[in-house]
């Protein structure tokens, strides 16, 4: 870059700057001095007359306010320098005079031409020193090219009017507007057109492009993980033999996901033909398709402009709002998805999520629903029908519409060279199978009640329904198909010939060796409502009922835990007053005299012995503890109730209620030698990819009745020894080759004041719970709450009437052909029953009833001809005590213990 300060001024010798720095040369004229005391400034120009300023009048004066200052020197007035014609741009910048040196033009004592005196004056330099920063020309204030390079040009406008090369100002019309020539008007119109075009381009191209780029970086593309809830798949249930028991569809319908590469080309080509022929080449959206959709909207036609990518975004986000915002973000997401995923991944995701009708989501489910085959086996004709139904899945059963769409897709496949013309000519419209005809052949093996219990168990482990559907869960259950079939058959046969419409039943069987539920029958899956319409029946196997005398097994377990043995004796006579209440046995056959061993009391189900045992030895809390250790689940883990505020728990009445499932599981702990395995339905859970979530290794297992496994086994063995004779005493038989043990139970109906006299002997709940070393089963037969039940002869029913034979039938059916088995023998606890000699007292023919003074006796009834252990020879109907009176035992449950709700005590045998 040149240094202007070192350049020569016009008319100045080149060495002048150097001499200025070193001082005045000998004989040199110092040049003009500054006039007055302050530095001169450039005068303001007056407007010269039109024409050549050279011919003008007087010299220019100083600006206003400086009238007293010196005038311009020279004889000739200053004139505006003329710019050479044709010169373009600014002239070269003139050199700045050296610091401290003035230009050599002009007469002495005159300011340099073109120098404007500063306002307010300027300090006078000391003698012998020139002023600093002289920035103007030495002559008339212009450079060699005729202009002042320091003039910004804004003042030229005032002189343009008078310049030779400047045209005069345009004329104005009466409104003060400029009058334009035709050429100027045309130019102006084009100028407006250009500006409108620029605005149009900016509005419809530049601004949207910028906005699209911003949106692109702000939106997120739906990933397979983010739309799992929309890709719910059926839950598949397997039995213990890994055979499919059934499938449960999600609320949105059937869906079976495929992986990239599993969709055949014929299916993809059919879908392309129906929805987006340019899918393989477009970038996520088709401009021509969008324009065509706009035209269809304007002209009243049909058809959208969405590509497959856009449709996938819409399905994945579940946003179908008819707004520009939704469409805009949909375009950005589809474009971004095409940059992040392959076309194979996109089409697979789309075909997994799109709906085809018939409750089928995804191409695999649709292939099953319409043709009962896998997607990989579809031909061009079948694929075209399914692809055509994407636009109208709700019209899938409309033959005319389906044919129209099939024809269109087939023709498009030919047009796009995905199908040969001869193949199109030979193709026939495919005939779908009947709707809902593709259900699993063995789906009926699993009832609704069983399905819900399985899902309840998984939900308790943190696998709720949504999670199961989202993973396409495979649930491997413990249900044994043979046991399930035997349970249903035995339950149905047990109810044959019964005339009491209030009779209901349930059966649950558990494998003692692992706690798995192998059979579960909660009653009929469908029942009639009051209007005669079908409805889902209640699950009676998961409802808590008074267990009656089947609860005595837990009385004995608590007794054995205290070190007491089967040889201990109690007063087993009838009508004993215990705890201020009169307790009676179920007739003479259930009484065994003053010295009745515990073993004998269990065999004949003597109420007085077990009531005495719990009241005076174990206490109710120990009975409840033993029941829970065996497997009875109370809230919040289960529905059973173990009521310990009174002694009714000893005989399974009052507020105590247990579900059939819990009874089968608890008795399984006795069968398994005192080892508790938590009852469960699920042996293994996997996802669709067969990745294991959990298996039976997570099942809780521990000694049931003691931390010492040997002691727990001894307790269970002694209890089993006491329950073995009950089978024969109840007129039941074990399966051939198998030892078995068990206990019946009966809960009396609580009569009402206006009931017929015969109702006083009726029962409301009956049980039979028994086991072999390989299976434990509980059968409940009773009413829904407190109902007076009867057999076909209008006689009361007992545990050995219906429940007992049903249990025996199930055991025979299930264990038929299986290896024989026996119980392990253990050492006796406490007093050995074999060392005790008792002489039972023969009960009187007409027993007397011992009651408190305030209790009124009631006449006894005749003995029913029933073989149940608890069949009474005489009964007294208890009276309702008045204020301050002692009630007559037993206490029953007005509500029958239904649902595990503790009810106020009522009357009934234990």
Least confident of 43-52, 180-189, 708-717, 853-862: 853-862
Cβ-Cβ contacts under 8 Å for 456 (sequence gap 6 or more): none
Gap between the Cα atoms of 430 and 395, Å rounded: 16
Q: What pLDDT was estimated at residue 843?
A: 42
Mean pLDDT in residue range 828-857: 54
Q: Is the pLDDT of residue 21 over 80?
A: no
What is the per-residue pLDDT across 668-680, written as a single tens digit (0 to 9) for each?
Answer: 999 999 999 999 9
Catalytic positions, please? 275, 549
Show the tokens assigned to 442.
Answer: 């063995």
Q: Is the pLDDT of residue 500 over 80?
A: yes
Q: Is the pLDDT of residue 825 over 90?
A: yes
What is the per-residue pLDDT across 234-252, written as a single tens digit (0 to 9) for each?
Answer: 899 999 999 999 888 887 6
Highest average pLDDT, of 45-49, 60-64, 801-805, 902-906, comes from 801-805
Show the tokens assigned to 478.
Answer: 């413990």
Q: Are 6 and 98 in contact (CB under 8 A)?
A: yes
What is the per-residue pLDDT across 177-231, written as a single tens digit (0 to 9) for each?
Answer: 778 788 888 888 888 888 888 887 776 666 666 665 665 554 556 655 555 555 6
Higher per-residue confidence, 301 vs 851: 301
Q: How much of the chain exceeds pLDDT 90, in percent?
A: 43
Q: Are 138 and 104 in contact (CB under 8 A)?
A: yes
What is the per-residue pLDDT across 595-634, written as a single tens digit (0 to 9) for each?
Answer: 999 999 999 999 999 999 999 999 999 999 999 999 999 9
Q: Is the pLDDT of residue 154 over 60?
A: no
Gap between the Cα atoms of 387 and 363, Å rounded: 9
Residue for token pair 């073109």? 114
DSSP 801: I
Mean pLDDT in residue range 55-79: 48
SS (H, E, C) 505-538: EEEEEECCCCCEEEEEECCCCEEECCCCCEEECC
pLDDT level of residue 545 (50, 70, 90 thresholds): very high
DSSP string, 381-438: HHHHHHHHTTS-GGGTT-HHHHHHHHHHHHHHHHHTTSS-HHHHHH-----PPPTTTT
What is the sign, positive or negative, of the torsion defined by CA atoms of 157, 159, 161, 165?
negative
Whether cis (ω within 30° of 0) applies to the bond prior to 636 is yes
Mean pLDDT in residue range 408-428: 94
Q: Is the pLDDT of residue 98 over 90?
A: no
| Strand-pair category, 517-521 with 474-477 | unpaired
Burial of 684 (0-12, 13-18, 19+ CB in 10 A): middle
Q: What pLDDT was estimated at residue 126?
A: 55
Residue for token pair 């007076």? 788
SS (H, E, C) 599-649: HHHHHHCCHHHHHHHHHHHHCHHHHHHHHHHHCCCECCCCCEECCCCCHHH
Higher per-residue confidence, 632 vs 124: 632
Distance of CA 33 to the CA centre of its chain: 97
Highest average pLDDT, of 76-80, 465-469, 884-888, 900-904, comes from 465-469
Q: What pLDDT was estimated at residue 849?
A: 32
Highest average pLDDT, of 10-14, 81-85, 123-127, 644-648, comes from 644-648
What is the per-residue pLDDT across 689-701, written as a single tens digit (0 to 9) for each?
Answer: 899 999 888 889 9
Q: What pLDDT was estimated at residue 276?
A: 82
Higher per-residue confidence, 904 vs 114: 114
Residue 810's nearest CA partner among 540, 449, 480, 519 is 519
Mean pLDDT in residue range 571-593: 87
Mean pLDDT in residue range 582-587: 86
Least confident of 579-588, 655-664, 758-767, 810-819: 579-588
Q: Is the pLDDT of residue 903 over 50?
A: no
Mean pLDDT in residue range 458-472: 86
Q: Are 766 and 797 in contact (CB under 8 A)?
A: yes
Residue 563's nearest CA partner among 492, 622, 606, 648 is 622
Least confident of 213-227, 384-398, 400-414, 584-598: 213-227
b/e per residue, 417-445, with b = 16+ CB within 10 A?
Answer: ebbeeeebeebeebebeeeeebeeeeeeb
List beta partners, residue 743.
769
Cβ-Cβ contacts under 8 Å for 711 (sequence gap 6 or more): 674, 703, 705
Q: What pLDDT was estimated at residue 232?
A: 75
Q: Are 463 and 473 in contact (CB under 8 A)?
A: yes
Gap between the Cα atoms of 679 and 514, Å rounded: 8
Q: Are 781 and 802 in contact (CB under 8 A)?
A: yes
Higher per-residue confidence, 257 vs 731: 731
For residue 477, the SS3 value is strand
Q: Is the pLDDT of residue 830 over 80?
A: yes
Q: Are 578 and 612 in contact (CB under 8 A)?
A: yes
Mean pLDDT in residue range 318-332: 56
Total-model pTM: 0.61
Higher per-residue confidence, 556 vs 92: 556
What is the per-residue pLDDT across 424-438, written as a single tens digit (0 to 9) for each?
Answer: 999 999 999 887 666
Show the tokens assigned to 470.
Answer: 């989202």
pLDDT level of residue 150 (50, 70, 90 thresholds): low
Average pLDDT, the chain: 75
Burial of 174 (0-12, 13-18, 19+ CB in 10 A): exposed
Show the tokens assigned to 539.
Answer: 């699950």
Q: What pLDDT was estimated at residue 279?
A: 79
Show the tokens assigned to 349.
Answer: 């995701």
């Amino acid at each position: 870059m040149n240094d202007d300060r070192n350049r020569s001024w016009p008319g100045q010798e080149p060495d002048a700057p150097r001499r200025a720095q070193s001082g005045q040369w000998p004989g040199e004229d110092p040049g003009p001095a500054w006039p007055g005391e302050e530095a001169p400034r450039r005068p303001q120009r007056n407007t010269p007359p039109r024409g050549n300023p050279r011919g003008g009048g007087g010299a220019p004066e100083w600006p206003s306010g400086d009238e007293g200052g010196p005038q311009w020197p020279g004889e000739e007035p200053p004139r505006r320098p003329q710019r050479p014609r044709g010169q373009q741009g600014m002239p070269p910048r003139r050199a700045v005079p050296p610091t401290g040196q003035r230009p050599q033009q002009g007469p002495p004592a005159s300011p340099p031409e073109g120098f404007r005196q500063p306002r307010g004056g300027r300090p006078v330099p000391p003698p012998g020193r020139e002023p600093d920063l002289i920035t103007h020309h030495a002559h008339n204030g212009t450079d060699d090219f005729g202009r002042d390079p320091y003039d910004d040009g804004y003042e030229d406008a005032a002189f343009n009017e008078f310049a030779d090369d400047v045209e005069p100002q345009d004329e104005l019309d009466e409104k003060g507007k400029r009058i334009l020539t035709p050429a100027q008007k045309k130019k102006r119109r084009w100028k407006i057109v250009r500006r409108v075009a620029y605005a149009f381009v900016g509005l419809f191209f530049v601004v949207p492009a910028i906005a699209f780029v911003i949106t692109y970086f702000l939106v997120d593309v739906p990933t397979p993980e983010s739309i799992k809830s929309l890709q719910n798949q059926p839950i598949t249930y397997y039995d213990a033999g890994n055979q499919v028991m059934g499938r449960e569809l999600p609320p949105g319908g059937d869906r079976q996901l495929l992986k990239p590469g599993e969709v055949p080309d014929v299916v993809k080509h059919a879908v392309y033909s129906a929805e987006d022929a340019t899918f393989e080449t477009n970038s996520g959206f088709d401009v021509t398709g969008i324009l065509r959709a706009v035209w269809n909207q304007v002209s009243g036609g049909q058809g959208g402009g969405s590509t497959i990518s856009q449709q996938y975004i819409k399905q994945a986000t579940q946003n179908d709002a008819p707004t520009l915002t939704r469409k805009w973000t949909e375009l950005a997401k589809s474009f971004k998805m095409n940059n992040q995923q392959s076309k194979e991944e996109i089409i697979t995701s789309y075909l997994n999520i799109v709906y085809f009708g018939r409750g089928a989501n995804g191409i695999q489910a649709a292939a099953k629903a319409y043709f009962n085959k896998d997607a990989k086996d579809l031909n061009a004709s079948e694929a075209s029908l399914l692809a055509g139904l994407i636009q109208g899945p709700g019209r899938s059963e409309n033959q005319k519409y389906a044919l129209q769409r099939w024809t269109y897709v087939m023709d498009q496949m030919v047009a796009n060279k995905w199908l040969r013309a001869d193949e199109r000519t030979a193709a026939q419209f495919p005939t779908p199978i009947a709707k809902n005809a593709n259900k699993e052949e063995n789906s009926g093996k699993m009832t609704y009640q069983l399905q819900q219990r399985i899902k309840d168990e998984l939900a308790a482990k943190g696998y709720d329904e949504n999670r199961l559907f989202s993973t396409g869960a495979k649930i491997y259950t413990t249900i044994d198909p043979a046991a399930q079939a035997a349970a249903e058959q035995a339950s149905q046969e047990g109810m044959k010939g019964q005339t009491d419409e209030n009779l209901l039943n349930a059966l649950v069987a558990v494998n003692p060796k692992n706690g798995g539920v192998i059979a579960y029958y909660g009653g009929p899956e469908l029942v009639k409502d009051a209007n005669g319409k079908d409805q889902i029946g209640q699950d009676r196997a998961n409802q808590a009922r008074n267990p009656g005398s089947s609860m005595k097994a837990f009385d004995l377990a608590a007794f054995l835990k205290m070190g007491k043995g089967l040889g201990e004796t109690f007063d087993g006579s009838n009508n004993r007053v215990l705890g201020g209440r009169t307790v009676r046995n179920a007739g003479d056959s259930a009484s065994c005299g003053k010295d009745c061993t515990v073993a004998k009391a269990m065999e004949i189900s003597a109420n007085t012995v077990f009531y005495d045992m719990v009241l005076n030895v174990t206490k109710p809390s120990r009975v409840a503890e033993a029941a829970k250790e065996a497997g009875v689940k109370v809230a919040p883990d289960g529905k059973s109730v173990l009521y310990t505020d009174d002694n009714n728990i000893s005989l399974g009445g009052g507020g105590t209620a247990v579900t059939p499932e819990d009874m089968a599981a608890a008795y399984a702990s006795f069968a398994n030698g005192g080892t508790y395995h938590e009852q469960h339905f699920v042996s293994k859970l996997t996802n669709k990819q067969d990745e294991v979530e959990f298996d039976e290794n997570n099942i809780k297992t521990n000694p049931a009745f003691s931390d010492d496994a040997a002691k727990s086994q001894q307790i269970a063995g002694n209890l089993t020894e006491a329950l073995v004779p009950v089978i024969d005493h109840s007129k039941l038989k074990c399966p051939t080759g198998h030892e078995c043990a068990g206990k019946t139970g009966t809960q009396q109906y609580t009569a009402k004041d206006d009931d017929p006299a015969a109702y006083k002997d009726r029962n409301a709940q009956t049980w039979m719970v028994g086991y072999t070393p390989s299976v434990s089963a509980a059968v409940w037969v009773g009413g829904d709450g407190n109902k007076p039940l009867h057999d076909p002869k209008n006689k009361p029913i007992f545990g050995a009437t219906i429940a007992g034979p049903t249990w025996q039938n199930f055991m025979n059916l299930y264990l038929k052909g299986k290896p024989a088995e026996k119980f392990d023998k253990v050492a006796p606890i406490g007093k050995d029953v074999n060392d005790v000699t008792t002489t039972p007292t023969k009960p009187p023919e007409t027993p007397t009833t011992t009651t408190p003074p305030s209790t009124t006796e009631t006449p006894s009834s005749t003995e029913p001809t029933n073989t149940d252990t608890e069949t009474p020879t005489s009964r007294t109907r208890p009276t309702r005590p008045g204020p301050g009176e002692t009630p007559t035992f037993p206490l029953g449950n007005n509500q029958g213990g239904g649902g595990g709700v503790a009810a106020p005590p009522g009357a009934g045998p234990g």
